[in-house]
Amino acid sequence: MEYTWRWYGPADPVALDDIRQAGATGIVTALHDIAAGQVWTNEAIAERKKLIEDAPQRSTLRWSVVESVPVTEAIKIGNENRDRDIAVFQECIHNLGTNNIQTVCYNFMPVLDWTRTDLDYHQPDGSTALRFDQTAFAAFDLYILQRPGAKQEYSEAEQQQAKQYADQLDEQRAQQLQQNIIAGLPGSDKDYSLQEFQEVLDQYQSIDEAQLRKNLQYFLEKVIPVAEEAGVNMAIHPDDPPRPLLGLPRVVSTEADAHNLLAMVDSPNNGLTFCTGSYGARPDNDLTGMIERLGNHIHFLHLRSVQRESNDVNGSFYEANHLEGSANLVNVVKAAVALEKEQRAKGISDPIPMRPDHGHKMLDDLHKKTNPGYSAIGRLRGLAELRGVEATLKGNS
């Protein structure tokens, strides 16, 4: 595996020099300062690449993966602006290929990207983790956002629990919950107010799961040929959490969804980001089996383990240490190593880029400003543990 690290650009509190010391050689980043729907010019890409790669006298980093090129709501909704926005997306892919960046992560989650309710969930060892609490989320949906139609999506018992939860929130905690859900996480392209948020949700009123799949297919049919020509591997990130939220459909949550996506456009460039944290939040996703079956369509690995708090597909979960939690990352790394071996036999010698996804806030992280999930030391621990697993499996430790 190629060891990579997500970097949010020059404003990231974890600097490129820190990343060099963490043992990563690949950088995963995006031009976060360019709004969704705007072109990433050749010049802007080249400039960022230079910043990452030109560091004389120091060990080298390369810009390995883009995470993410944003897909606009117009594309996901399929409205009158989608062709304009797809043309921009195509141009971004073309320009990234020109700059020799060959892996592009993106996602097709309506409105919200990844979502958590608690960004500082205390762990017994004193570190803090990210958590998705289904009851807190329902409390937000039913009693803070007060989304029309929300009630039908929760059972009586869930509504009652959510009500109890909402009743004990003071103003500040209610505000915090709202902030965490709709504006708290790095990488999403928008900060919505509650009202704006509801307005965007409303635009999805007529978009059900089948329609969202059609819109994804339309997008892929236009984008994958451009990616083929540019030599870029497209890697869709799964839904996080992997289930519909707020009445919005989600279509990249399960193994069947992944196969469905690959069948939409048959091309090696039409591939996946295999995120063990996102897929692993569902008990019915068999992670190692998925790696075996999805095989060389996996262009990028996000390795982390969530602890599921119940066996329910809609259950709560928190992010465990990388070698703990519900996913068995030793088996996952084993499957990834086997996949690379298989690929080498077919003449594909490039290792699969992997990043330690998320990490606890721990040690010095606890006293610093960090991007939620993207602390330096928590991820350093994760990367070190995963490298150790790989080295042991390969017998070169």
Contact positions vs ligand DNO (CB under 6 A)? 67-68, 105-107, 113-114, 187, 237, 240, 275, 277-278, 302, 357, 373
Catalytic residue among 94, 302, 322, 360: 302
Q: Which is nearer to ligand DNO, 134 or 276 (CB)?
A: 276
Catalytic residue among 118, 133, 154, 237: 237
Residue burial 229-246, b: 16+ Cβ < 10 Å; e: rest: ebebbbbbbbbbbbebbb
Q: Which is nearer to ligand DNO, 72 or 107 (CB)?
A: 107
* Nearest distance, CB of residue 50 and ligand DNO, angstroms: 23
Q: Which is nearer to ligand DNO, 128 or 142 (CB)?
A: 128
Active site residue 358: yes
* Nearest distance, CB of residue 36 and ligand DNO, angstroms: 12
Catalytic residue among 118, 240, 357, 365: 357
* The three-state (H, E, C) secondary structure of the chain, written as one string: CEEEEECCCCCCCCCHHHHHHHCCCEEEECCCCCCCCCCCCHHHHHHHHHHHHCCCCCCCCEEEEEECCCCCHHHHHCCCCHHHHHHHHHHHHHHHHHCCCCEEEEECCCCCCCCCCEEEEECCCCCEEEEECHHHHHHHHHHHCCCCCHHHHCCHHHHHHHHHHHHCCCHHHHHHHHHHHHHCCCCCCCCCCHHHHHHHHHCCCCCCHHHHHHHHHHHHHHHHHHHHHHCCEEEEECCCCCCCECCECCCCCCHHHHHHHHHHCCCCCEEEEEEHHHHCCCCCCCHHHHHHHHHHHEEEEEECCEEECCCCCCCCEEECCCCCCCCCHHHHHHHHHHHHHHHHHCCCCCCCEEEECCCCECHHHHHCCCCCCCCHHHHHHHHHHHHHHHHHHHCCC
Q: Which is nearer to ligand DNO, 97 or 359 (CB)?
A: 359
- How far is the C-alpha of 368 from the C-alpha of 377, rounded, in Å? 11
Active site residue 237: yes
Q: Which is nearer to ligand DNO, 162 or 320 (CB)?
A: 320
Active site residue 141: no
Active site residue 357: yes
Q: Which is nearer to ligand DNO, 154 or 307 (CB)?
A: 307
Catalytic residue among 297, 299, 358, 360: 358
Catalytic residue among 275, 279, 297, 365: 275
* Nearest distance, CB of residue 304 and ligand DNO, angstroms: 8
Catalytic residue among 106, 121, 154, 374: 374
* Nearest distance, CB of residue 275 and ligand DNO, angstroms: 6
Q: Which is nearer to ligand DNO, 105 or 376 (CB)?
A: 105
Burial class (CB in 10 A: 0-12, 13-18, 19+), 104: buried
Active site residue 374: yes
* Nearest distance, CB of residue 120 and ligand DNO, angstroms: 16
* Nearest distance, CB of residue 137 and ligand DNO, angstroms: 16
Radius of gyration of the chain (CA): 20
* Nearest distance, CB of residue 245 and ligand DNO, angstroms: 13
Positions annotated as catalytic residues are: 237, 275, 302, 357-358, 374
